[in-house]
Amino acid sequence: MSVSDTLASPLPSATRDLARAFADLDRHGYAIVEGALSPERVAALRARVIDQARGEDAQGLGFHDGKTNQRIWMLPNKGKIFRDLMLDPLVETAMTRLLGKDFILSSLTANIARPGGVPMYLHSDQGYVDFWTPKPLVANIAWMLDDFTAANGGTRLVPGSHLNPDRIDYALEDTIAAEGPAGAALIFDGRLIHGTGANITADQDRHAVLSYHCRPFVRQQENYYLGLDPALRETERGLFLKRLGFRIWAGLGRTNEPGEKGPLSPLTSPLGPLDPEGRPFPDT
């Protein structure tokens, strides 16, 4: 498939047909899956995002991009509703297809694009890799918690740019807005050029949760080894811990435990320097 093939076929629109969505992903680098979230789930997630955003501002900890937009980081710590979203069957299916079955979470964040927000710089989510890769190393799902429109900051993207090995600079004029109804999931290849759109409405905030994933040898955007609430390490599901990367994969991520099977635990007393008889050796 080439960039010209992409340009020759109609651009993706919202679909409930997963086979079509995956064909859109291959050809255009993105797909819009309609009805990925029920209206009840959209309402519950949206309400939590709004409350959390206000709560973080109230504590003076809100993370703001520019004057208006707000990002909420580390959602795995911020409610079971987000941890359940992380393990949604659509995530499992789409990310396995794009990144292989051992994909891990890179970050789980909310992004609120508010009126007056300027367009985010155009980038690919694997832009820190300074060469093109024939397969994606990372991939993203933007869960639409409002209708996404060109006016309210629907994600701008350059269709087919995932297939362009020449890492050219794209301009806003090269982009289109991803549009879809609340509850849709915008799935995109990590090589696709994109960015949050400008919200030019008078009064419509655009809410999204972004489930960003990577292959298991890529450094994650959020550092769960340091940042995850330690209580969750004790109580959460095995799959949750696997998706955060708390397992040995292909020999990577070892501590001192030999096994490759289950999630690793933090070392409470790491093995230190020993003398030949196995006694502690002074660490001076």
What is the number of residues in the chain? 284
Nearest approach in angstroms of CB 139 to ligand AKG is 12
111 binds ligand AKG (CB under 6 A): yes
Do residues 264 and 255 make contact, with C-beta atoms less than 8 angstroms apart?
yes
Q: Fill in the per-residue mask, 29 to 68: x = in contact with ligand AKG (CB under 6 A), - = not in contact.
A: ----------------------------------------
Q: What residue is closest to ligand AKG based on CB?
A: 155
Name which of 73, 24, 25 is nearest 49 in CA terms: 73
245: left (phi > 0), else alpha (psi -120 to 50), else beta? left
Please identify, using beta-carbon distances, which residue of 156 and 242 lies nearer to ligand AKG.
156
Report the amino acid identity of residue 179.
E
Please identify, using beta-carbon distances, which residue of 175 and 196 lies nearer to ligand AKG.
196
The C-alpha atoms of residue 171 and residue 193 are separated, in whole angstroms, by: 10
Nearest approach in angstroms of CB 23 to ligand AKG is 23
Q: Give whole-number Cα distances, 174 to 121, 171, 191, in Å.
A: 13, 5, 16
Please identify, using beta-carbon distances, which residue of 138 and 163 lies nearer to ligand AKG.
138
Please identify, using beta-carbon distances, which residue of 193 and 228 lies nearer to ligand AKG.
193
Residue 126: half-sphere exposure toward Cβ, Cα within 13 Å: 26
Tell me which residues in 177-236 interact with ligand AKG (CB under 6 A): 194-196, 208, 210
Report the residue from 53, 142, 193, 218 that binds ligand AKG according to the rule CB under 6 A.
142
Nearest approach in angstroms of CB 118 to ligand AKG is 13
Do residues 110 and 193 make contact, with C-beta atoms less than 8 angstroms apart?
no
Nearest approach in angstroms of CB 276 to ligand AKG is 53
Please identify, using beta-carbon distances, which residue of 25 and 120 lies nearer to ligand AKG.
120
Please identify, using beta-carbon distances, which residue of 6 and 126 lies nearer to ligand AKG.
126
Nearest approach in angstroms of CB 213 to ligand AKG is 12
The C-alpha atoms of residue 146 and residue 208 are separated, in whole angstroms, by: 7
Please identify, using beta-carbon distances, which residue of 143 and 246 lies nearer to ligand AKG.
143
Tell me which residues in 143-172 interact with ligand AKG (CB under 6 A): 155
Q: Residues in contact with ligand AKG, total (CB under 6 A)?
A: 10
Nearest approach in angstroms of CB 62 to ligand AKG is 16
In degrees, to the nearest 5, what angle opens at C-alpha 33 toward C-alphas 27 and 36? 155
Note the residues at the interface with ligand AKG (CB under 6 A): 111, 120, 125, 142, 155, 194-196, 208, 210
